[in-house]
Structure 1
Amino acid sequence: MSEEILINVTPPETRVALIENGSVQELMIERSRRRGLVGNIYKGLASRVLPGMQAAFIDIGLERAAFLHASDIISSNGDNPGQSIDEQLREGQGIIVQVVKDPLGTKGARLTTNLSIPSRYLVYMPSLKSAGVSQRILNEEERQRLRDLLNRPEGERIAQNGGFIARTAAEGATEEALSSDIEYLSRLWQSVQERIASAQPPSLIHEDLPLALRALRDLIGPQVEKVRIDSRSTWSRLNAFAEQFMPEMAEKIEYYPGERPIFDLYGVEDEIQKALERKVELKSGGHLVIDQTEAMTTIDVNTGAFVGHRNLEETIFKTNLEAAQSICRQLRLRNLGGIIIIDFIDMEDEEHKRQVLRALEKCLSHDHARTHVSEVSSLGLVQMTRKRTRESLGHVLCVPCSCCGGKGSMKSVQTTCYEIFRELLRESRQFEMEQLLVLASQEVIDCLLDEESDHLAELEQFIGKPIKLQAEPLYSQEQFDIVPV
């Protein structure tokens, strides 16, 4: 698998696209006015402690208080004894926390006291008592080699009161590269401790790298052929970062000077627009329908125009196999997280069900986010979860519709007309007036004067008062006002 990383930089926004075999697989967007908070370490202040929820709200200097659950509080000796929240924290107490989830919708940031600071190959964790190795490294010999390197000699390789975890990128890394990372993380943790000692809550102690550098640290690997950046200043920063922390990758970093925007060149802009749509077309003629709600994301698979060549079961099987691959790409592309329910087309053959589920799991193995897939439920639904740390692409780029308020539908013109009739009748009985003025959108006024004119005349005769109509160009189809005159 060949990969390329594209980085588009403008003063208000940085965008990163991961291209696999010529297809856009992941998109990350960070805006200068609204940078992500995941990885940031704060000295916070407990503003509310709620034993009934076993949680606390922590003031870390943001607009909304952040959320800390009792299970995310690690004691000084590095474990979680399962104590009640009011036994571990009191209101007004200062506490060192790290953001693990950005604020999402109306929810504040999610916090933990189990701090972790990543580098290229390692993650330093003050609460860790021994070295660890990423579960994605499957080769047992390599896992043992990394453990030996991190534990030998123990006094030099394990920082005081903490330990290191080898990341997936550490597979095959030399002893010198790991030693360099250990030294860097030890120095960084020392500076963090010094800021913790002097800072007053609420205050920011440590901020994670900006998106361009974070992408270089987390995404680049042996399979990445090129990293292309369209900003010369960012290219210089990435080069300096690579020469210090990953010299073997420095030659892969290129400055893109072309006049044509780099995202246009690779078709990324078109993919962004498609990723905001509800419907996803499949090559076979089938399609997916993706609906994102606050509680979960649902994905419905349909055969659409695909009629197959053999029989119905074979048609369904092929559509579901193609859908499994497309779903994995859409989850990464749209950065969908939390609970995800997939409604594959019903299959009778148990072997077909197993193959579709295996295809889904195989595709998800390339995902950088942690995922878990359950078995097919009794209703034929596949339930899965995907770790959510940052807002989805739709939430970053879009806001709820000003007309429908994010519902995705509006009351029909006829519905609004009948609501107006009921309100006219109500107001005529409540107030003394000579006539009533109806303010509504042009579409509603046209309907009242045309299709509903007979009903309007009957109502006018029934209440015994004239009704005047006035179109308001700024009103939506649902809005109206009745003004007694």
Structure 2
Amino acid sequence: MNKKIIIDANFPSETRVVLLGQSNNIEDIEFQTTVRQQNKGNIYLAKVTRIEPSLQAVFIEYGMDKSGFLPFSEIHPNYYNLPTSERNFPVNAFPEIALSNITVEDDKEKPAAIYDSLVDSEEIDLKTIEDLVESKFQSELNLEAADDIEMIQSGTPESNIPQYKQYKVQEVIRKNQILLVQVTKEERGNKCAAFTTYISLAGKYCVLMPNKGSQNGISRKISNGEERKRLKDILNKIVSGDKNAYSVIVRTAGRGSSTLDLKKDYNYLARLWNKIRKSTIKFPAPCFIHEEDSIIRKTIRDMCDHNVKEVVIQGQDGYEDASKFMQDLLPSELVKLKEHKSKTPIFTKFQVEEQLVKLYQPVVTLPSGGYIVINPTEALIAIDVNSGKSTSEQNIEETALKTNLEAAKEVAKQVKLRDLSGLIVVDFIDMSEAKNRKIIERSFKEFLSRDRARIQTGNISQFGLLEFSRQRLRSSFLETNSAICSHCNGKGVIRASDANAMLILRTIENEIFEERIDVINVFTNIVSVLYLLNNKRAEIKFIEEKYNIKLNFYSDPNATSDSYSIEKVKLFKKNNNNFNSVKPVIQNHNADYTEEELKKEQLRKNKHKWKTANNSNNVANEVKDKSLEAEESVEQTVSVVEEVQVVESNAGLEEAQAAPKKTKRRYRNKTSNKKCPSNTVEDTEKNAES
């Protein structure tokens, strides 16, 4: 098949890759942005920060103050802190769960693409499908039974259970211990990234697993027995010549590869691992050790095979990176590499942009007139199949069968393009014949077989539902390229205008019932305001007359479609020229004064209280208005006291006591002359003290 790989690397901030099939239809898509970097596959030198016995896991710090989750099952036994007497058990005695999930040692043959012609064709022939299913039905049942026996035999029988202690994470792992880890799952929301200590390095034809011991394997998708035997012999020859004896798994792309290709790929990965191992000695933990290949290199490594006719790249830097990588790893494929130098955008030239825009839409049309609707939810992804305008068949059963076949092919394509993962439920059109349901099941499984993700499928239930689960490889297309709507907050719907208007009126009535209010101001969007004033006049008037209240509606440009705010106003009314205002029980008049104002207020109050003593008639005179003059008067009074106290000592005690008496008599005799009275010593002292 003549496929094309189109790479748009014109902008440094974003790189997009698509795999085009017949008629330039998108079969796969990859994209990478600088805003959302993908960490899956990266290798870090991490440090254990916390051990959780309840989870049997540890939390690690791997750089940039980020924490990761590492299950105990993903910690290699070489990291266990064991007593000396228990350190000699074989490494391969530990169950290799991760390895058994992706490899298999079996020479039994599987059918190698029963429906290849069906998957690649644009139109679906019902008769061809029926013949293929009936001819392969019995053989597939036998193969499925063989797979079940294989899984049982590949397990760990009781006779092979290693005799070693079953450790717990808190017993063998210590805090601040250094681990070399690799990201297996990206961060998602509040969940931190997941890690493993079983490092794997992917090449073009094989995967190197340096700390798995010598456990070689072959991909399940290579089903031919002779081919599997040939690849197994090549692996044994390559590994036996290497003193390190790393584990190697042959990928699906290794089907038909020569000994030289596998040997070259193995040596490339071995050199990469040695480079990583040396880097762990140079830098302290936590630190970043190895970055997974860029999206351009991964695309060439994983997608470029004998079916790809050419690789076209727009962008000078991207082209040079791809050229260098292909010279090192795939020199024979270098002739397929081309640079797009036209001014026309590369995705526009190959009609790719129009197809990418459709990935944002939930509805996908089918060739016969039907359509499918994709609805992601929190628990699962629901896909509904509808016949629509499909009327080409003679009866309902044939129409349902053809529409379901088209839907099965399109669903397999859409889950791959949109990166849908988790539990997915497809609601096919009901079919009465069991044979037709079996056709849909077999066809759907074959359509999904070309997906890189691990997929488990079920059968069509009595309600017409087919359930299947898909491995999460990365974030979905919508998660990466969309944001939550600011109007509906991600709900996808808003309240209708009438429902929103009635909700506002009911809220107003509840507020009036709870508290006596005179005026209510409502702030909402312009659409709701116009709807209330044009369609709810009677209800507004009813509330105003019933509760003797005034309603005002204002437009708020910041309000969303179904949001509003209410302001309550209470007016003070006069009754017999007296305000009916509530007075506090305790009034603190000084609370409103500043410190400076309090001093001025105190001077004003003391203005009428200051008095001077009159020795003749004891009459009090008012203090002068200005505070400065009052202070001068006090100073004069104090000076009289000082003069009396500083009488010379040679005058004797009697003279000192007689002096103020004479002064007192003198001022008393002169009162008739209306002179300013003078104070005695005693009066002066009292005045000074006040």
Asked whether the equivalents of residues 238 and 263 of structure 2 are also in contact (C-alpha less than 8 Å), the reply is: no
Pairing 1:26-45 to 2, within 5 Å after superposition: 26-45=28-47
Aligned to 2:3: 3
Secondary structure in 2 aligned to 1:176? helix
Superposition deviation, residue 370 in structure 1: 2.2
**Greater alpha carbon shift after TM alignment, 382-391 vs 221-230:** 382-391
Which deviations, in whole Å up to 9, do the C-alpha atoms of 1:149-196 show, x marking residues without a partner? Answer: 222264434735x31111111222222222222222111111211222
**Greater alpha carbon shift after TM alignment, 75-84 vs 109-118:** 75-84
Aligned to 2:476: 392
Moved runs in structure 1, 4+ residues, more than 6 A?
none
Aligned to 2:178: 94
Aligned to 1:267: 351
**Cα distance change, pair 425–265 in 1 and its aligned pair in 2 (3 A):** same
Does 2:508 correspond to 1:424?
A: yes
**Greater alpha carbon shift after TM alignment, 369-378 vs 263-272:** 369-378
Which deviations, in whole Å up to 9, do the C-alpha atoms of 1:60-117 show, x marking residues without a partner? Answer: 3367633333343343325359754444545544332211222234433232222101
Which deviations, in whole Å up to 9, do the C-alpha atoms of 1:395-432 show, x marking residues without a partner? Answer: 11111111112111112222322332233233334556
Alignment partners' CA distance in 2, 1:354 and 1:86? 51
Secondary structure in 2 aligned to 1:66? strand
Q: Which consecutive unaligned segments of at least 5 residues does structure 1 have?
A: none
Aligned to 1:314: 398
Secondary structure in 2 aligned to 1:152? helix
2:222 to 137, 160, 170: 137
Alignment partners' CA distance in 1, 2:56 and 2:534? 60
TM-score (norm 1): 0.94
**Cα distance change, pair 188–407 in 1 and its aligned pair in 2 (3 A):** same
TM-score (norm 2): 0.67
RMSD: 2.1
Asked whether the equivalents of residues 430 and 463 of structure 2 are also in contact (C-alpha less than 8 Å), the reply is: no
Does 2:443 correspond to 1:375?
A: no
Alignment partners' CA distance in 2, 1:400 and 1:252? 41
Q: What code does the residue aligned with 1:140 have?
A: G
Alignment partners' CA distance in 1, 2:392 and 2:172? 62
Secondary structure in 1 aligned to 2:535? coil
1:195 to 276, 279, 283: 279
Alignment partners' CA distance in 2, 1:377 and 1:158? 54
Q: What code does the residue aligned with 1:457 have?
A: K
Asked whether the equivalents of residues 158 and 164 of structure 1 are also in contact (C-alpha less than 8 Å), the reply is: no
Asked whether the equivalents of residues 41 and 98 of structure 1 are also in contact (C-alpha less than 8 Å), the reply is: yes
Secondary structure in 1 aligned to 2:77? coil
Alignment partners' CA distance in 2, 1:358 and 1:120? 30
Alignment partners' CA distance in 1, 2:77 and 2:353? 47
**Cα distance change, pair 457–394 in 1 and its aligned pair in 2 (3 A):** same
Alignment partners' CA distance in 2, 1:56 and 1:174? 43
Superposition deviation, residue 302 in structure 1: 0.6
Aligned to 1:152: 237
Which deviations, in whole Å up to 9, do the C-alpha atoms of 1:230-286 show, x marking residues without a partner? Answer: 112211221111111111110001111122111111221111111110100111110
Aligned to 2:550: 466
Q: Which structure has greater helix proportion?
A: 2
Aligned to 1:15: 16
**Greater alpha carbon shift after TM alignment, 448-457 vs 420-429:** 420-429
Alignment partners' CA distance in 1, 2:351 and 2:392? 30
Alignment partners' CA distance in 2, 1:100 and 1:368? 16
Aligned to 2:252: 168
Pairing 1:249-264 to 2, within 5 Å after superposition: 249-264=333-348
Asked whether the equivalents of residues 151 and 157 of structure 1 are also in contact (C-alpha less than 8 Å), the reply is: no
Secondary structure in 2 aligned to 1:376? coil
Aligned to 1:247: 331
**Which one scores higher on RCO, CA 8 angstroms, separation ≥ 6?**
1
Q: What code does the residue aligned with 2:377 have?
A: T
Q: What code does the residue aligned with 1:26 have?
A: D
Secondary structure in 2 aligned to 1:38? coil
Q: Which consecutive unaligned segments of at least 5 residues does structure 2 have?
A: 79-90, 97-165, 570-690
- Greater radius of gyration (CA): 2
Alignment partners' CA distance in 1, 2:455 and 2:536? 54
Q: Which structure has greater strand proportion?
A: 1
Superposition deviation, residue 367 in structure 1: 1.6
**Cα distance change, pair 468–90 in 1 and its aligned pair in 2 (3 A):** farther
Aligned to 2:559: 475
Superposition deviation, residue 387 in structure 1: 1.5
**Greater alpha carbon shift after TM alignment, 364-373 vs 327-336:** 364-373
Asked whether the equivalents of residues 453 and 473 of structure 2 are also in contact (C-alpha less than 8 Å), the reply is: no
Aligned to 1:358: 442
Which deviations, in whole Å up to 9, do the C-alpha atoms of 1:106-158 show, x marking residues without a partner? Answer: 43323222210111111111232322111111222222222222222644347
Alignment partners' CA distance in 2, 1:52 and 1:423? 48
Secondary structure in 1 aligned to 2:6? strand
Which deviations, in whole Å up to 9, do the C-alpha atoms of 1:265-320 show, x marking residues without a partner? Answer: 12211111111101001111100000122432111111011123311111100100
**Cα distance change, pair 372–157 in 1 and its aligned pair in 2 (3 A):** farther
Secondary structure in 2 aligned to 1:277? coil
Alignment partners' CA distance in 2, 1:429 and 1:361? 63
Alignment partners' CA distance in 2, 1:114 and 1:294? 32
**Cα distance change, pair 401–46 in 1 and its aligned pair in 2 (3 A):** farther
Superposition deviation, residue 41 in structure 1: 1.1
Give the number of aligned pairs: 484
**Cα distance change, pair 153–291 in 1 and its aligned pair in 2 (3 A):** closer
Q: What code does the residue aligned with 2:69 have?
A: F
Q: Percent identity?
A: 31
Q: What code does the residue aligned with 1:364 have?
A: L
Alignment partners' CA distance in 2, 1:332 and 1:378? 27
Alignment partners' CA distance in 1, 2:230 and 2:216? 12
**Cα distance change, pair 201–427 in 1 and its aligned pair in 2 (3 A):** farther
Q: What code does the residue aligned with 1:471 have?
A: S
**Cα distance change, pair 295–54 in 1 and its aligned pair in 2 (3 A):** farther
Aligned to 2:365: 281
**Cα distance change, pair 422–35 in 1 and its aligned pair in 2 (3 A):** same
**Cα distance change, pair 98–224 in 1 and its aligned pair in 2 (3 A):** same
Asked whether the equivalents of residues 397 and 432 of structure 2 are also in contact (C-alpha less than 8 Å), the reply is: yes
Asked whether the equivalents of residues 419 and 473 of structure 2 are also in contact (C-alpha less than 8 Å), the reply is: no
Alignment partners' CA distance in 2, 1:297 and 1:362? 21
Secondary structure in 2 aligned to 1:395? helix
Asked whether the equivalents of residues 45 and 202 of structure 1 are also in contact (C-alpha less than 8 Å), the reply is: yes
Asked whether the equivalents of residues 303 and 316 of structure 1 are also in contact (C-alpha less than 8 Å), the reply is: yes
Aligned to 1:207: 291
